[in-house]
Amino acid sequence: MKKARNMTIGKAVIYLVLTLLSASIVIAFWHLLNLSLSPSYIATKGGLLLYPRDATFDNYARVIDNRYIWLGYKNTLIRTVVGTVLQLFFTAMGAYVLSKRFFPHRTFWTLFIVFTMFFSGGLIPSYLVVKNLGLLNTYASMILPGFISAYNLVIMRNYFQSLPEEIEESCLIDGAGRFRIFLQFVLPLSKPILATVALWLVVGHWNSWFDVLIYISDDTKFTLQIVLRRIIITGSKEILDTSAAANAAEMESVVSSEGLKAACIFVTTLPILCAYPFVQKFFVKGIMIGSLKG
């Protein structure tokens, strides 16, 4: 009875902490939403906004009318799609090889890859490598430096080790090669871990900004997070300068810097929030199997 009571109290504490954490996140987003819909005389007052007053979409109209936002969307989509597809495929290939017992010295190579999780060359050597390869101001500089994640590779390797070897043996007897087995049998059976790693890669590419800040100086190749950073830090009214100059005085009475920043945050984060529920069902299964098996 005492053990059961302690378990009940422990669960109650965990649920309470998770509820408070979730509430803090939801309240913050709700405040930003109300702030983005508020005119300037309300947004500049400060404080927590629990409901919209005199709601207006002028902040969103100003943001959507800005060309830097759409350039940022284009660059972010290119980086996210190309980077996720390539990284996921090549990480899966490396993990599949390391999961096979017949691979020579696979323990050594696995430990060698894990070693890179704790030690790296540093920022300056990485920049010099990218510069000497002529990758500055290119999309490749956003993808290639972190092309293979050691953590993702180990997680996928452990998952591949949990797959039954009898399936591959029967395919080999039927004359299928290793690459065909990998494409037509291993990958379809690994949808949970592929969806999990793909989610990590998508979120990582979508939210990444530091590498763009280092390697990219052409403002036409800035990603969405760099545009958002410039708007928040440098000042929204200088960057969000639209072509509707004739209505500038009219917009000034409705639009505020705080409302513009809130609208920009929602415009940049909403797509990734909408994509998350579609892969959430694979997330828990993939991460649990990939981390515990093998």
Per-residue pLDDT tens digits for 24-40: 888 888 888 888 888 77
pTM of this structure? 0.79
pLDDT at residue 234, rounded to an integer:
66
Would you say residue 236 lies in a domain?
yes
Would you say residue 249 lies in a domain?
yes
Distance of CA 186 to CAs 87, 92, 144, 157, 172, Å? 17, 10, 25, 12, 13
Query: 78: pLDDT confidence band, cut at 50, 70 and 90?
Result: very high
- Tell whether the model's pLDDT for residue 93 goes beyond 90: yes
Query: 64: pLDDT confidence band, cut at 50, 70 and 90?
Result: confident
Residues 6+ apart with CB under 8 A from 154: 95, 110, 113, 114
Would you say residue 46 lies in a domain?
no
Provide the domain count of the chain.
1
Would you say residue 10 lies in a domain?
no
Distance of CA 272 to CAs 11, 170, 225, Å? 31, 41, 13
The sign one gets for the Cα dihedral 254, 255, 256, 262 is positive
Q: What is the CATH number of the domain that holds 143?
A: 1.10.3720.10
pLDDT at residue 245, rounded to an integer:
45
Q: Identify the residue with better confidence: 76 or 280.
A: 76
d(CA 130, CA 136): 6
**Whether the Cβ atoms of residue 181 and residue 172 lie closer than 8 Å to each other:** yes
Q: What is the pLDDT of residues 221-257, one digit of tens each?
A: 999 888 888 877 765 555 555 444 435 444 555 667 7
Would you say residue 33 lies in a domain?
no
Q: Identify the residue with better confidence: 54 or 132.
A: 132
Q: Output Rg (C-alpha) for the chain, integer angstroms.
A: 24
Domain span at residue 176 reads 64-292
For 217, the 3-state DSSP assignment is coil
Would you say residue 12 lies in a domain?
no
- Tell whether the model's pLDDT for residue 2 goes beyond 70: no
Rounded to the nearest integer, the mean pLDDT of the chain is 82
**Whether the Cβ atoms of residue 37 and residue 56 lie closer than 8 Å to each other:** yes
Mean pLDDT of the region 7-23: 89
As to burial, measured by CB atoms within 10 angstroms (0-12 exposed, 13-18 middle, 19+ buried), residue 221 is buried
Tokens of 196: 């999990």
pLDDT at residue 4, rounded to an integer:
73
Mean pLDDT of the region 44-54: 74
